[in-house]
A and B are shown apart, each in its own frame.
Chain A
Amino acid sequence: MNWAGTGILWGLAGGLPLGIGLDKALAAEATAPQPFTFLQISDSHVGFDKPANPNALATLQEAIDRIKALPVKPAFMIHTGDISHLSKASEFDDADKLIAETGLRVFYVPGEHDLLDEGQGKAYLDRYGKGSKGTGWYSFDQEGVHFVGLVNVAGLAAGGLGKLGPDQLAWLKNDLGAVSASTPVVVFAHIPLWSIYPEWGWGTDDGAEALSNLKRFGSVTILNGHIHQVMQKVEGNVTFHTARSTAFPQPAPGKAPAPGPMKVPAGDLRKYLGVATVDFVRGSQPLAIVDRPLAG
């Protein structure tokens, strides 16, 4: 975990994650070939108003303002779920209005907070699920990269973790079967696909089966949200990364009695919230992820 004030650029050197300061990274980028960039935001929880952050809409606005100020416009944005706090139409409306200010195309996957309407996910699908399959999964290709949006928050079972389910796993196997092993793959879903801390539900029960379909690819990046903090892991050709929330931080695994919203000292909140940009540089370079906190 890293709370560096200005953000971290992650690259891989000899299979090991290498973090360099954002200022240095931006300077380096100026001389590098223009990469293809996309953005990730997560866990905006519009509607949340508890002490950990009485105004989640304001911090989402700050994140959006930062995105609008980026010197190079990203190709698109992904949102890895928990757009809303209680799946209320007004919460989705408020989020949509702000996110539209970026002028970017947005690819969504739902978080568990987005499936709380009476139709248990119908509101989400009506609004964000056009062209998706099942509970909202889909794939698309951009600039030679294959992107897969997965749903692991629907129909959760008692005692379990996140769940993809057999229909989605069958679809994923079929979808990836048509992609060559040299194609970089980016998979995004709300709950981490690897087991971070099962005691708090931070993992996906059938995540391993999904990952088994990704072993043959040279470059795989898995982007998640849900845990409201940055975590990264590299396993072979797979880089796992979780993004910060734009709404409120959560404690590090096991560092609190429960994973609920974490109240941080006044003035520190924005160090814990942020957005991530991902640069894909053609050639032998892996994807590099830059996390930018709202403060700094």
Chain B
Amino acid sequence: MCAWIRQSSSVPVARRAGRRFSAPRQLLVAGLLALPLWLIAASSASAAGAAATIQIENFTFTPAELSVEPGTTVTWVNHDDIPHLVAATDKGFRSPPLDTDDHFSFTFTKPGKFDYFCALHPRMTGTVVVTKPK
């Protein structure tokens, strides 16, 4: 069992919340200079200690596959009028039932491919890929 931090709350989170980058600003600027803009927009990898959000809407996890670096806290937000429940296929994490606007966060520490699904509507599936530290 890997070490992990679980937070969940029923406080609504702002929709489509932007990612918080705790990486030094210079690093980000350097990246902007070195990479085409579309590549940055398409990249879903985030720096260690960063945060990423998965939206739950119309019985779908978006993005269906999210790639993050170790140490990233991933937050699922339910926008549906019906509860969902985020559960790791390997039982590594399990949210409480998330009613409308509830959210659940989990910090991924180890590299690997983590499949999850909705325990209420198991046809809903998604994956978090945790990349190797750079």
Contacts and interface: CB of A to CB of B under 8 A. Distances in A.
Contacts of A257: 58
Given A258-B59, A259-B59, A261-B82, A158 B117 contact: yes
Contacts of B116: 158
B99 A158 contact: no
Contacts of B89: 158
Contacts of A112: 119-121
A157 B122 contact: yes
Size band of the interface chain A makes with B: 20 to 34
A85 B83 contact: yes
A52, A112, A116, A158 — most chain B CB neighbours (10 Å): A158
Interface residues of B, number: 22
Interface string A63-100: 00000000000000000000001110000000000000
A52 B122 CA distance: 23
B125 interface: yes
16 contacts: A50-B81, A50-B82, A50-B100, A52-B81, A85-B83, A86-B83, A116-B120, A157-B122, A158-B117, A158-B122, A160-B123, A200-B123, A201-B123, A258-B60, A260-B81, A260-B82
Q: Closest 4 A-B residue pairs measured CB to CB?
A: A158-B117, A258-B58, A258-B59, A50-B81
Given A158-B125, A258-B59, 4 more contacts: A50-B100, A116-B83, A260-B80, A260-B81
Interface of B: 58-60, 80-83, 85, 89, 96-97, 99-100, 115-117, 119-123, 125
